[in-house]
Chains A and B, each alone.
Chain A
Amino acid sequence: MGFPLLSVIIFTPVVGAAVLMFLRGDDAMRWTALSFTILDLALCIAMLVGFDTTTHAMQFTETRSWVPALGINYALGIDGISALFVFLTALLGSICVLASWVAIDRKVKEFMICLLFMQALMLGVFCALDLFLFYVFWEAMLIPMYLIIGVWGGEGRVYAAIKFFLYTLAGSLLFLIGVVVLYFYGGRTFDILALTEQDLPFRIQSWLFFAFLIAFAVKVPMVPLHTWLPDAHVQAPTAGSIILAGVLLKMGAYGFLRFSLPMLPEASMYYSTLMLALSVLAIVYGGLLALAQDDLKKLVAYSSISHMGFVTLGIFALNLRGLEGGILQMFNHGVTTGALFLFVGLIYERTHTRSIADYGGLMKVAPVYTTFLALFTLSSMALPGTNSFVGELLVLSGGFAANMVAGSAAVLGALLGAAYLLGMYGKIALGPAGVGARLTMSDVNAREMAAILPLAVFVLWVGLYPKPFLNVIDASVKHLLTHVHSRGSGP
């Protein structure tokens, strides 16, 4: 065991939060939080540089005994799939601080502490190799997120915060039962890697699959467990929305990848058609709902449901293109939708309205803003040359290979996406100036640019040259796929 890099990555934000407790002055809070998130990002980049893409094995592993009586360890490690999300989390972390710079003007200290704790816990989720540890990180996230939505959110924040809390808690508790059952059937261990090597009877796998499904479907969220999401997104402050869309929604899909597929391969294959159907339902239903929205933030929130449908579609296509596309799409959705929420936040800070009808002709007033908005809108639509194109193409081709009907329906969903996104952009940026545009609307400033630019870079980088990103996940995905197919054929 060498240098505990992953522990350092996880606990750097915690140290930052501790430092904040001794500081005074709002600006000091902002700068300190930013420094620690950037430091964390730098550590993550160092981790990626040292990451060996040729193997599917867990890297940077650490193991320490935690509760020996129950075989619980403090075990960390990452493979290609987690590496990508560790990086995404750290990237969005500093962007969240920038996005809250002026938007959060009261209790700045507490907010930044919540944000830093949130980041540490999310990183922990992606690095944990012990189920108990994973659950502790997974569930502890509820506390800072509940506070972020409930204390710093909009008008209906209390309702949204409680709804978010209860939905996720109820789902997670079923997952907890699943974990305990898995512990007893899987040879009394919480070691994730050891559990993937177990051959559980199909009956147990089925039960566990549905217990996990409910927990993960709440997080993704999949229709019909999605109703907490629009409320939470609309009420959360910008940084909260970015975290929700960028990372939290990924955890459900990550759960499928880390637990459902490898530990319950037979059940995963057996119920894959059901999952494809649910994914398509989310894609189309989310798209239709987005089409009907006038509130900008709601529109992006519902589009998230639709986009995450593509992710689960890719995962449960259970072929190489589908899986790689689904995982890449998770990353892309984090970047693109994170950016879109950032843009909604920017416009809301200036005009205090989110109604699309209030805007129009922003192109003239804020050309830089609308140009970048165009880039991310196109990316969200999956136009060639942007990141989502690569991901969506892979998902669709995987989806068609798995199930013709599901693939075709998903294409319909993609069309819907073009409709509501283009409509939204047209009404906001083009046309005659609306109420919002007549209000004081300044263009983006340097600080906001600093938050936007990295995201724009990733949109184009993945769009034009996705190879490095696919390389990171490739070995792990191939291994996962052979694992599922070799163990899961036929109940």
Chain B
Amino acid sequence: MTAAALFQSALASLPEIVVITGACILLILGQFVRRGQEHLLVWASVAIVLIAALATLMLAGEVRPAYTGMFITDRFAVFFKFVFYLATVLTFLLSRKYADIEGIGSSEYYVLLLFALSGMMIMASATDLLSIYVGLELMVICTYVLTGFLRLERRSNEAALKYVILGAVSTGIFLYGVSLVYGLTGTTHLDGMAAAVTGDPLDPGLLLAVVFIVAGLVFKVGAVPFHMWLPDVYEGAPTTITAFMSVGPKAAGFAVILRVFLNPLVAASDVWIIVAVIAVVTTALGSFVALVQDNFKRLLAYSSIAHAGFAIFGVAAGGADGIASVMLYLLIYAIMNLGIFGAVIMMRNGDFSGEVIEDYAGFAKSHPGLALLMLLYLFSLAGIPPTAGFFAKFYVLVALVEHGFVILAIIAVLLSAVAAYFYIRIVMVIYMREPKRAFAPALTPLVGATLAVTAAGTIGIGLFPSWFLKLAQDSVLGG
């Protein structure tokens, strides 16, 4: 590699370099932060993400392939990176007070989140199975640790252990698929793979490889049949990390899925049927099992399975509209889900955990404003207009019908009617029950800011979806 090419490559990956360097500096400087000064860590982390965002914005103008085809900066990657930035920054803001309450004083918490962010960014930009793998592992290893961050809590340890073991298995499956691809085509590059299979009937070995790769990726977004880890891990992890995992790594998983699935290798095979089946089964399982959950975090875990299923409907639709619908869906889901998690995190105060749905009985009576916010997020998750959640679902349906999958569209909406039930059940508990105890939500200015941003997004995208839709459509792969 010449110096000029190296410079170009470094330039293309500037945001990743910023985040990783920043995280390393924070890792060292973090040791000098005294107790009671932890807000410095929050602000430093936020600053690092903002600098990376600026760098991303500077590079957004043109497509820049880098590192001999392992990595690319295009609008697709930029779109996803902004979703990650949003998720990470809001997680930082939510973490401050929660970390105090849970006794998480160490700077590693923030450093690990930054490393996870850099992994997700690499995933969004990766154009080679190996660079995908690097990003993926960087991300999940950080989330393994973060899941177990509540060292004194059994649930947290158990969740981390479960996550590590199952995650390692899925990584193995993924790598096996990669090795098959390399053995059969002699390349791990996505475009190279596509070139290797043009024309002829598909090699059954390649099909097997694709199935392995799909399985590895589907694990990361928590789709059926690789969803079993998700409720336990979501429940055991610190709530802030649950919030982060439900949107950030999930979106990163979808970024990779879209890149791999839109590859001619996959398009030529019958994987589409599998995708459609996964979408139906995932949405159904998430929706139906969520009906019987009493724990708020578990319920949101199943809800996130259902939402992942709905996004996979968009993948199944395919085409530019299908991709744009998935991207828009993930953006909107990130906003509204961080909103509802913000509300749950805020409830954690003193001996009050806010994890059981019944805890929220009569919340509307004591805190009408906050209850109204929760109502907004819940109706948005259920997909009721004029909230953003409705438009997200609507656009997926448009994509499905456009490609002739009317039956899939009908299944999708009927399942979302089922899903609506458990969201409005929470609204019912909040609004229609008598309060059992006094509430003292930990509404710090930072949490308040998060809630304000997410609420504005939920209403704003719902009423004026045009700009965001255009953004998603312009950022579609190859568009």
Contact = CB atoms under 8 A, between A and B. Distances in A.
Contact of A162 (B384, B397, B421): B421
B378 to A, nearest CB: 10
Interface stretch (A141-149, A194-202, A225-233, A372-380): A141-149
Contact of B398 (A139, A165, A174, A180): A180
Contacts of A68: 466
Interface string A64-91: 0011111000000000000000000000
Interface stretch (A150-158, A288-296, A464-472): A150-158
A142 B417 CA distance: 13
Contacts of B379: 143
Interface string A338-373: 000000000000000000000000000000000000
A176 B368 CA distance: 32
B473 interface: yes
Given A142-B384, A173-B413, A177-B406, A162 B470 contact: no
A217 B223 CA distance: 36
A170 interface: yes
Contacts of B428: 150, 158, 161-162
B385 A170 contact: no
Interface in B414-434: 414, 416-417, 420-421, 424-425, 427-428, 431-432
A181 interface: yes
A140 B466 CA distance: 19
A151 B401 contact: no
A162 B425 CA distance: 8
B394 interface: yes
B57 interface: no
B417 A151 contact: no
A139 B402 contact: no
A183 interface: yes
B385 A174 contact: no
A109 to B, nearest CB: 9
Interface string A227-255: 00000000000000000000000000000
A151 B428 CA distance: 8
B229 to A, nearest CB: 31
A135 interface: yes
A184 interface: yes
B441 interface: no
A177 B432 contact: no
Contacts of B397: 176-177, 180
Interface string B423-459: 0110110011000000000000000000000000000
B386 A136 contact: yes
Nearest to B472: A69
Contacts, number: 80
Contact of A140 (B384, B425, B432): B384
A110 interface: yes
B417 A173 contact: yes
A110 B368 contact: yes
Contact of A66 (B390, B421, B466): B466
Contacts of B398: 70, 180, 183
B432 A135 contact: no
B466 A184 contact: no
Given A67-B466, A69-B469, A157-B432, A181 B406 contact: yes
Interface in B178-197: none
Given A68-B466, A170-B414, A173-B416, A147 B431 contact: yes
For the residues of B in contact with A, the DSSP-based class is: helix
Which of A66, A67, A110, A166 is most buried by chain B, counting CB atoms within 10 A of its CB?
A67
Nearest to B391: A67
Which of A132, A142, A166, A177 is most buried by chain B, counting CB atoms within 10 A of its CB?
A177
Which of A140, A161, A174, A180 is most buried by chain B, counting CB atoms within 10 A of its CB?
A180
A184 B465 CA distance: 20
B2 to A, nearest CB: 42
A150 B413 contact: no
Question: Contact size class for B?
Answer: 20 to 34
Contacts of A140: 384-386
Nearest to B473: A69
Contact of B469 (A67, A147, A184): A67
A169 interface: yes
Contact of A176 (B394, B421, B427): B394
Contacts of A174: 410, 413
A123 B394 CA distance: 23
A181 to B, nearest CB: 6
Contacts of B308: none
A264 to B, nearest CB: 16
B390 A139 contact: yes
Interface in A37-96: 66-70
A69 B410 contact: no
B431 A151 contact: yes
B417 A170 contact: yes
A136 B385 contact: yes
Nearest to A69: B469
B53 interface: no
Contacts of A165: 420, 424
B417 A166 contact: yes
B279 interface: no
A162 B422 CA distance: 10
Nearest to A106: B365
Contact of A169 (B368, B386, B420, B425): B420
B409 interface: yes
Given A69-B466, A170-B417, A139 B425 contact: no
A438 B276 CA distance: 66
B385 A181 contact: no
Interface in B43-76: none
Given A110-B368, A166-B420, A180-B397, 8 more contacts: A67-B465, A69-B466, A70-B469, A146-B424, A157-B432, A158-B432, A180-B401, A181-B401
Interface of A: 66-70, 110, 132, 135-136, 139-140, 142-143, 146-147, 150-151, 157-158, 161-162, 165-166, 169-170, 173-174, 176-177, 180-181, 183-184
9 contacts: A70-B398, A140-B386, A143-B375, A147-B431, A151-B431, A166-B417, A174-B410, A180-B401, A181-B406
Interface of B: 368, 375, 379, 384-386, 390, 394, 397-398, 401-402, 406, 409-410, 413-414, 416-417, 420-421, 424-425, 427-428, 431-432, 465-466, 469-470, 473
User: Which 4 pairs from chain A and chain B are nearest by CB?
Assistant: A173-B413, A136-B385, A170-B417, A67-B466
